[in-house]
Amino acid sequence: MTVSGWDAEVAVIGLGAWGSAALWQLAMRGVDVIGVDQFPPGHTWGASHGGSRMFRITCLEHPGLVPLARRSGELWRELEKASGEELFVRSGGLLIGPPDGPITQGTLRAAETHRIEVEVLTAAELADRYPLHAAVPPGHIGIREPGAGIVRPEATIRAALEQARAAGARVLTGSRVTGVSAAGGGVEVATPTGTLHVRRAVVAVGAWLPTLVPGLPLEAVRMPICWFRPGDGGKGFELDRFPVFMREIDGGRVLWGNGRENGYDVKLGLEYGGGGFRPMDPQDTDRSVGAEDWSELARLLAVCVPGLDPVPARVAVGMFCRTPDGQFVIGSPGGDPGLIVAGGCNAHGGKHALGIGEALADLVTEGETRMPLDFTDVDRRF
């Protein structure tokens, strides 16, 4: 324990995309902060892996997320400049579906409300400009957002931690937190090798959050991620020709993905679909995969995105936490100023990671955030 009686002013527990961003932002403000994670940076056990995450400003999940996405984009450029590494690849993005569907309606609503530049394409125009998307029904539309693209989660985490260390943060990995509790006017962070005593704690442990902070309306969900190769081994599915997208297909299912980039094959998946999505205990170390993780997706690709091998080149298992209303939970449960939680990424939190990190730093240092995030209040009614 330090001379002041505290091991640090603040502990950030969980150093995935959100936690590493919070550590970076706190360290940049001169806060005495320590980051703790049970895994090494950029690990494959949670939600922040797979080489890419979709970035867009037209946040169809909630119009109030647009300012957060814009700020996140600015912070990605700042982190790129500081680290000297490319972390955000702007390729443009496509949101495809029926004009009255949730994807297109939500996208257009966000674009109109926040004056975001988009281009609306007919099905015929989509077929002409993006021929790799096949069988788009005549009445469907595509919305192109020029500023969309992908962010690289593992590289972003490593860059944020490097910048946090350079600003004075301490990073402790390979140490699982087993408990967080109020004590002595601060917070005790228990690990198998000892207890840290800090004034405040930020808990951003993804799928482990319901275990570490019981009572939150969160459910850990298993999420398969698949990569496919072009059948002819060619380069027709590069990111510039097959940019990041979400596409509503039959039955309201959503196909998502992006083209080949940075050594990765074509990344595709079904949103909340397929047999592979199910509640999961985050402590379950079995990450084996089977045909149920990709067979439904492969059947759809034969029609919607022909030209890819029917069997994926690689399948991985990730996890995320979901909430009843599909929005994040950010804040202090019960108003406890010593504890701030951030979770419920609902599989769309990657694009907001750096803005959320800044918001968490605001809550620690100022007690409020400059972002209008009332709809993510951890104590809201569900």
| Mean pLDDT of all residues belonging to the chain | 94
Q: Does domain 8-49+153-218+325-376 have CATH number 3.40.50.300?
A: no
**Tens digits of per-residue pLDDT, 183-201?**
989 999 999 989 999 999 9
- Per cent of the chain over pLDDT 70 is 97
pLDDT at 181 over 90: yes
**Tens digits of per-residue pLDDT, 336-352?**
989 999 999 999 999 99
**Tens digits of per-residue pLDDT, 358-379?**
999 999 999 999 999 999 999 9
In the chain, where the domains are located: 8-49+153-218+325-376, 99-149+219-322
pLDDT at 27 over 70: yes
Q: What is the pLDDT of residue 3?
A: 41
Q: Give the 3-state DSSP-derived string for the chain, with helices as H, strands as E and coil as C.
A: CCCCCCCEEEEEECCCHHHHHHHHHHHHCCCCEEEEECCCCCCCCCCCCCCCEEECCCCCCCHHHHHHHHHHHHHHHHHHHHHCCCCEEECCEEEEECCCCHHHHHHHHHHHHHCCCCEEEEHHHHHHHCCCCCCCCCCCEEEEECCCEEECHHHHHHHHHHHHHHCCCEEEECCCCCEEEEECCEEEEEECCEEEEEEEEEECCHHHHHHHCCCCCCEEEEEEEEEECECCCCCCCECCCCCEEEEECHHHCEEEEECEECCECEEEEECCCCCCCEECCCCCCCCCCCHHHCHHHHHHHHHHCCCECCCCCEEEEEEEEECCCCCCEEECHHHCCCEEEEECCCCCCHHHHHHHHHHHHHHHHHCCCCCCCHHHECCCCC
Q: Which residues pair with 203 in a beta bridge?
A: 13, 341
pLDDT at 277 over 90: no
| Radius of gyration in angstroms for the set of CA atoms belonging to the chain, rounded to a whole number | 21
Q: What is the pLDDT of residue 273?
A: 56
**Tens digits of per-residue pLDDT, 206-238?**
999 999 999 999 999 999 999 999 987 666 899
Question: How is domain 99-149+219-322 classified at the architecture level of CATH?
Answer: 2-Layer Sandwich (3.30)
pLDDT at 326 over 60: yes
Q: What is the pLDDT of residue 252?
A: 83
pLDDT at 2 over 60: no
**Tens digits of per-residue pLDDT, 106-165?**
999 999 999 999 999 999 999 999 999 999 999 999 999 999 999 999 999 999 999 999
Q: Are 59 and 199 in contact (CB under 8 A)?
A: no
**Tens digits of per-residue pLDDT, 241-270?**
999 999 999 888 999 999 999 999 999 999
Q: What is the pLDDT of residue 285?
A: 84
pLDDT at 275 over 90: no
